[in-house]
């Protein structure tokens, strides 16, 4: 065994391009690819992409069609499944699966507070990050597809932001697609970030109200934590400063199938008695920092609002500006008026670059991105209207993260797209349902139902 404490760890360039190994029922192969940072300059700087190929043990020697999985986010690496978890077992019945770590995520060339200073100052870092949107991700997919499939088109499964990328794929390179399957990820084709958040805040309020209806005792628990944070300066063990606004952002978990239950269990042991009086428990603080910290996915914080940038208008901290139009989210005011404290959802605020030690060094970079006025369109309405690729999409009714009305409008704009609108699942339905969501969407795309 190599002792990495004294030996030099090999760089990714020194590692083998492929390495295969087994988990229960599957064979996995690590794949690495080199692509241009800027696809408009193919001879310029390059970055590395990592992907994991997965095939069933019983089909490892077969010539199978490919399914490319595009993870939600932006800024998250692909799921690290063990064996045939979630939807993967259904996919492996007929596909080889490629789990791609989109540029900047997972084991691909990273983009975080440690690596971005290599680019230069905040302006240079922001310019670099303009290459980490859906259009670049799609061009990455097209760059690696010939090597993976031999040039054959593949089926793409896009979850959440991965669905946004899939709609961009249908706009930029539909010839690369055999079939497109989208779950919780039909974006508005033309909405500005302000439109997205004006639609989002009422949905967030409904999710919080539903949580309080399920767990009415949490109304007082949330109020008690908010009161404590307004009166005390709380710094979590990792250096995260837990303000009342930061605490409210725990509401982001409410968009998942287990989120309400997870939040309830988190709140039930928030306080412990101490010689100085009640204090937030170590267990509560430890779990909260795991939920709130962006250390594992800083790219999400940096580029989240830019996924809605498509013209000369800056995003300009849209979620923060639009929140001012919804004073019911003011925690201090809710406490004064003896109302339940509303939590927030999938929103990025400038103060998060002050309270989170993983983001503090990137505040100016984020400001540069928020001020940009040269975003290019991500979707081609004319090409989508003439689409010939079989497409099916699950639209989760009252999805906390992606507006249902926006999704259905886009569905009508993509020729031939079939929708399955359901309130049986939350935003993570493709994972939580096991094989059911993927199986139904494949059947819809194939006109089997």
Q: Which residues contact 24 (CB under 8 A, 6 or more apart)?
A: 82, 83, 84
Q: Which residue has the tokens 């690729």?
A: 389
Please tell me which residue in 61, 233, 338, 374 is annotated as part of the active site.
Answer: 374
Give the Cα separation of 422 and 201 in Å (integer). Answer: 21
Active site residue 427: yes
Please tell me which residue in 160, 260, 306, 318 is annotated as part of the active site.
Answer: 160
Q: Which residues contact 365 (CB under 8 A, 6 or more apart)?
A: 116, 122, 125, 126, 129, 302
Question: Do 345 and 251 contact (CB within 8 A), yes or no?
Answer: yes
Q: Nearest 5°: phi and psi at 250?
A: -60, -20
Question: Do 449 and 440 contact (CB within 8 A), yes or no?
Answer: yes
Please tell me which residue in 304, 427, 428, 433 is annotated as part of the active site.
Answer: 427
Tokens of residue 171, six digits: 């706009």
Q: Nearest 5°: phi and psi at 377?
A: -60, 145
Give the Cα separation of 283 and 254 in Å (integer). Answer: 20
Give the Cα separation of 263 and 250 in Å (integer). Answer: 8
If you ran DSSP here, which 8-state letter would residue 121 be given? S
Active site residue 140: no
Active site residue 397: no
Question: Do 191 and 406 contact (CB within 8 A), yes or no?
Answer: yes
Residues classed as catalytic: 160, 374, 427
């Amino acid at each position: 065994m190599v002792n990495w404490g004294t030996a030099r760890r090999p760089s990714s360039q020194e590692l083998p391009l492929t390495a295969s190994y087994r988990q229960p029922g599957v064979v996995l192969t690590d794949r690495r690819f080199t692509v241009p940072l800027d696809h408009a300059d193919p001879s310029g700087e390059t970055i590395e992409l990592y992907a994991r190929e997965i095939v069933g043990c019983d089909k490892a020697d077969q010539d199978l069609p490919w399914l490319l999985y595009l993870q939600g986010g932006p800024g998250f690496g692909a799921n690290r499944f063990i064996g045939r978890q979630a939807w993967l077992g259904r996919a492996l019945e007929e596909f080889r699966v490629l789990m791609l770590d989109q540029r900047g995520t997972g084991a691909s060339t990273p983009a975080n507070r440690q690596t971005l200073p290599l680019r230069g100052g905040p302006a240079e870092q922001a310019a670099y990050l303009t290459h980490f949107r859906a259009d670049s991700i799609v061009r990455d997919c097209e760059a690696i597809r010939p090597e993976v499939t031999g040039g054959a088109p593949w089926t793409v499964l896009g979850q959440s932001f991965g669905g946004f990328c899939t709609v961009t794929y249908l706009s930029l390179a539909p010839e690369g697609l055999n079939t497109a399957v989208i779950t919780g990820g039909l974006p508005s084709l033309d909405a500005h970030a302000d439109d997205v958040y004006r639609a989002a805040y009422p949905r967030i309020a409904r999710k919080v109200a539903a949580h309080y209806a399920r767990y009415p005792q949490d109304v007082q628990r949330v109020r008690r934590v908010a009161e404590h944070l307004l009166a005390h300066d709380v710094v979590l063990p990792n250096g995260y400063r837990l303000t009342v606004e930061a605490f409210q952002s725990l509401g982001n978990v409410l968009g998942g199938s287990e989120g309400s239950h997870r939040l309830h269990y988190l709140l039930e042991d928030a306080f412990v008695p101490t010689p100085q009086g009640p204090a937030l428990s170590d267990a509560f603080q430890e779990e909260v920092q795991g939920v709130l910290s962006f250390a594992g996915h800083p790219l999400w914080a940096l580029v989240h609002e830019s996924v809605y940038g498509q013209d000369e208008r800056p995003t300009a901290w849209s979620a923060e500006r639009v929140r001012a139009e919804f004073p019911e989210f003011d925690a201090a005011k809710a406490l004064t008026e003896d109302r339940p404290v509303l939590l927030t959802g999938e929103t990025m605020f400038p103060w998060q670059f002050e309270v989170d030690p993983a983001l503090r060094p990137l505040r100016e970079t984020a400001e540069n991105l928020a001020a940009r006025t040269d975003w290019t369109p991500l979707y081609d309405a004319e090409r989508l209207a003439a689409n010939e690729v079989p497409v099916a999409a699950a639209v989760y009714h009252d999805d906390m993260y992606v507006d249902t009305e926006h999704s259905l409008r886009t569905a009508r704009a993509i020729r031939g797209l079939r929708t399955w609108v359901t309130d049986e699942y939350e935003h993570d339905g493709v994972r939580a349902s096991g094989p059911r969501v993927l199986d139904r969407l494949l059947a819809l795309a194939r006109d089997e139902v």
